[in-house]
Amino acid sequence: MVDPAQAEFDSVQTPHRSQICAAIVTYNIGDALHRCVDAIRNQVGHVLIVDNGSDEPTRRELNRLKASNSISVILNKRNEGIARAFNQAIHWARGRGFQWILTLDHDSEATPSMVNELVRGYEALGRAGMRNVGVVGANPFDVNLQQYLLHGPCNRVKTPFEDQMEVISSGSLIPLPIFDKVGLFNEDLFIYYVDTEFCMRLSRQGFHIYLCPDAVLLHREGSKKRHRILWWNTRYDHYGKTARYYLSRNLIYMIRSRILPPGYIHGLLRSNWKDHLKLLLFDEDKFASLWFSLRGLVDGLKGKVGPLDSEGEGQPS
| Residue pair 172/135 in contact by the 8 Å Cβ criterion | yes
Closest to 96 measured CA to CA, from 63, 72, 64, 65: 72
E strands present in 149-230 = 162-164, 172-175, 208-219, 224-229
Please, what are the domains in the chain?
Answer: 4-219 (3.90.550.10), 224-302 (no CATH)
The pLDDT, as a whole number, for residue 13 is 60
How far apart, in Å, are the Cα atoms of 230 and each of 208, 237, 279, 304?
43, 20, 17, 41
The string of pLDDT tens digits covering residues 94-144 is 999 999 999 999 999 999 999 999 999 888 888 888 888 999 999 999 887
pLDDT score at 159: 57
Average pLDDT over residues 46-66: 95
Q: From CA 193, how far away is CA 248, in angstroms rounded?
A: 10
Mean confidence (pLDDT) of the chain: 87
pLDDT at 315: 46
What percent of the chain is predicted at pLDDT more than 90?
A: 65
**Residue 82 near residue 189, CB atoms below 8 Å:** no
- Nearest alpha carbon to residue 236 among 147, 145, 152, 151: 145
Dihedrals phi, psi of 54, to nearest 5 degrees = -70, 170
Residue 196 has pLDDT above 80, yes or no: yes
- The answer to whether residue 242 scores a pLDDT higher than 90 is yes
Distance of CA 283 to CAs 239, 278, 287, Å?
9, 7, 9
Q: Does pLDDT of 3 surpass 80? A: no
Residue 142's contacts (CB-CB under 8 Å, 6 or more residues apart) are 148, 149, 219, 220, 221, 224
As a whole number of angstroms, the distance between CA 221 and CA 315 comes to 11
Closest by alpha carbon to 137, among 85, 192, 205, 209?
209
pLDDT at 190 over 90: yes
174: pLDDT confidence band, cut at 50, 70 and 90? very high
Is the separation of the CB atoms in 135 and 124 below 8 Å? no
Which sign, positive or negative, has the C-alpha torsion 218, 151, 225, 244?
positive
CA–CA distance, 232 with 274 (Å, rounded to integer) = 13
Where do runs of H (alpha helix) occur along 205-261? 241-257
150-to-93, 161, 163, 171, 280 alpha-carbon distances in Å: 29, 12, 12, 13, 27
Residue 30 has a pLDDT of 93
Range with the lowest mean pLDDT among 47-51, 153-157, 197-201?
A: 153-157
Residues of the chain with pLDDT > 70: what percent?
Answer: 87
What is the structure's pLDDT at 152? 58
Q: Residue 153's pLDDT band (boundaries 50, 70, 90)?
A: low
Q: Is the pLDDT of residue 314 over 50?
A: no
- Angstrom CA distances, 59 to 170, 218, 225, stand at 22, 24, 30
Write down the pLDDT at residue 313. Answer: 44
Instruction: Give tens-digit pLDDT for 67-82.
Output: 899 999 999 999 999 9
